Amino acid sequence: MHAPMQDLFDATGADVGGATQFAEGAWLLREFALDRAAALLAAVDAITARAPFRHMETRRGLRMSVAMSNCGELGWISDRRGYRYAPCDPRDGRPWPAMPPVFARLAAEAAQAAGFDHFVPDACLVNRYEPGTRLSLHQDRDERDFDAPIVSVSLGLPATFLFGGAARGDRVQRVPLRHGDVVAWGGASRLFHHGVLPLADGDHPLLGARRINLTFRRAG
CATH topology of domain 5-11+21-217: Jelly Rolls (2.60.120)
Can you give the pLDDT of all 220 residues of the chain as single tens digits?
A: 456 666 655 444 334 458 999 999 999 999 999 999 999 999 999 999 999 999 999 988 899 999 999 999 999 999 999 999 999 999 999 999 999 999 999 999 999 999 999 999 999 999 999 999 999 999 999 999 899 999 999 999 999 999 999 999 999 999 999 999 999 999 999 999 999 999 999 999 999 999 999 999 999 9
Domain ranges of the chain: 5-11+21-217
Contacts of 161 (CB under 8 A, 6+ apart): 152, 174, 175, 176, 177, 183, 194, 195, 196
Q: Is 80 exposed, middle or buried (0-12, 13-18, 19+ CB in 10 A)?
A: exposed
Distance, in Å, from the CA atom of 117 to the CA atom of 110, rounded to the nearest integer, reads 9
> Secondary structure of the chain in the HEC alphabet?
CCCCEEEHHHHHCCCCCCEEEEECCEEEECCCCHHHHHHHHHHHHHHHHHCCCECCECCCCCECCCEEEEEECCEEEEECCEEEEECECCCCCCECCCCCHHHHHHHHHHHHHCCCCCCCCCEEEEEEECCCCCEEEECCCCCCCCCCCEEEEEEECCEEEEECCCCCCCCEEEEEECCCCEEEECHHHCCCCEEECCCCCCCECCCECCEEEEEEECCC
Instruction: Read off the pLDDT of residues 55-91 as tens digits, 9 standing for 90 and up.
Output: 999 988 899 999 999 999 999 999 999 999 999 999 9
Distance, in Å, from the CA atom of 178 to the CA atom of 182, rounded to the nearest integer, reads 9
Torsion angle defined by CA atoms of residues 28, 181, 74 and 186, in that order, rounded to the nearest 10 degrees: 0
Taking residue 24's Cβ as centre, other Cβ atoms within 10 Å add up to: 11
